[in-house]
């Protein structure tokens, strides 16, 4: 039969199309990402490689199977804008009139004149926010439009913005994870900065979180007899978790590396790909980038 060439062509196109879609397109999108001065309003390079100990910690994280219960990716459904009044100016009458005209402060307009900066409207779209900010400015006040990412993950406090490919530039392998038995850890270094908290939590999760279903990782610690004096590294363990008298629990190097890795997990840099206004930014340095549409 003579359908041999047709079969060949069909197979060729099927493989070629999947190669374009699965290999070439991702390569164009993220394959050439590199460290850049991409952090909004600073000259900082982002991301920076993890310190050596944290890189070892990534191996411990991988070996212990933490990714079976934890993801490292924060999603977001969009951005909204908050209008924050930073300075009431001197023409209070005009400001109050503007506030009342935009449907605010009818009951107690005076509340906007003190304890600034104070958000006057939240959850607006860009046009509405710009309109209100311009109106406030023409009343002699100063107002900022702050870009706030929103979504279920952000509402849970797992991050301030979505994670983007650049966040993982120096991780190999990337521990994205897919199952969320526990919280997302992409930004845990910011959320839980205390290394001792992590050590105690790894040794006995229920010590830190009541009824935690997370398994304890005792093999990352050793129990040893106290020598001349207790080690400054020994965990402070109360009651039922305490070792027998004369003994102490000290973290192994693997535990330290793992905690260094957890502490290095932070995705709070303000990037052009994931616009937001840094919460602690001084008024003059708030982001001027427009939200992605």
| Apex 249 CA angle, 71 and 261, nearest 5 | 30
Nearer to ligand HEC, 215 or 230 (CB): 215
Binding of ligand HEC by 92 (CB under 6 A): no
What six digits make up the tokens of 178? Answer: 């897919």
First-to-final CA distance of the chain: 54
**Closest residue to ligand HEC, based on beta-carbon distance:** 182
Nearer to ligand HEC, 212 or 289 (CB): 212
Per CB under 6 A, the list member of 212, 237, 241, 250 interacting with ligand HEC is 212
Q: Which of 40, 75, 60, 9 is nearest to 251 (CA)?
A: 60
Q: Which of 190, 249, 245, 187 is nearest to 217 (CA)?
A: 249
Binding of ligand HEC by 151 (CB under 6 A): no
Binding of ligand HEC by 278 (CB under 6 A): no
Site string for ligand HEC, 169-198 (x = CB under 6 A): ------------xxx-x--x--x------x
Site string for ligand HEC, 49-88 (x = CB under 6 A): ------------x--xxx-xxx------------------
Nearer to ligand HEC, 47 or 205 (CB): 205
Binding of ligand HEC by 209 (CB under 6 A): yes
CA–CA dist 125, 63 (Å, integer): 45
Q: Are 66 and 184 in contact (CB under 8 A)?
A: no
Give the CA distances from residue 157 to residues 54, 65, 208, in Å, rounded to whole numbers and listed in that order.
Answer: 23, 23, 18
What six digits make up the tokens of 77? Answer: 């459904």
Which residues make up the interface to ligand HEC (CB under 6 A)?
Answer: 61, 64-66, 68-70, 181-183, 185, 188, 191, 198, 205, 209, 212-215, 217, 258, 262
């Amino acid at each position: 039969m003579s359908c041999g060439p047709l079969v060949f062509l069909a197979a060729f196109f099927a493989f070629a199309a999947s190669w374009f879609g699965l290999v070439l397109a991702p390569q164009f999108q993220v394959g050439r990402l590199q460290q850049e001065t991409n952090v909004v309003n600073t000259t900082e390079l982002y991301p920076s490689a993890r310190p050596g100990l944290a890189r070892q910690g990534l191996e411990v994280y991988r070996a212990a199977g933490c990714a079976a219960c934890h993801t490292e990716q924060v999603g977001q459904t969009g951005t909204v804008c908050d209008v924050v009044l930073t300075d009431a100016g001197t023409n209070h009458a005009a400001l109050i009139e503007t506030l009342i005209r935009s449907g605010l402060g009818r009951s107690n307009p005076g509340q906007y004149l003190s304890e600034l900066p104070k958000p006057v409207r939240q959850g607006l779209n860009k046009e509405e926010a710009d309109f209100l900010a311009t109106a406030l400015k023409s009343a002699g006040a100063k107002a900022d439009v702050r870009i706030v990412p929103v979504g279920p993950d952000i509402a849970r406090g797992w991050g301030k913005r979505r994670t983007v490919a650049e966040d993982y530039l120096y991780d190999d392998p990337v521990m994205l994870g897919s199952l969320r038995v526990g919280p997302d850890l992409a930004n845990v270094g910011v959320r839980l900065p205390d290394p001792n908290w992590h050590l105690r939590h790894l040794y006995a999760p229920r010590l830190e979180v009541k009824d935690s279903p997370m398994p304890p990782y005792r093999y990352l610690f050793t129990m040893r007899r106290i020598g001349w004096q207790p080690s400054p590294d020994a965990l402070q363990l109360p009651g039922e978790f305490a070792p027998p008298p004369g003994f102490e629990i000290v973290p192994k190097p693997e535990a330290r590396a793992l905690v260094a890795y957890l502490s290095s997990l932070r995705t709070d840099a303000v990037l052009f790909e994931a616009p937001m206004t840094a919460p602690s930014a001084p008024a003059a340095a708030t982001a001027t980038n427009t939200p992605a549409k």
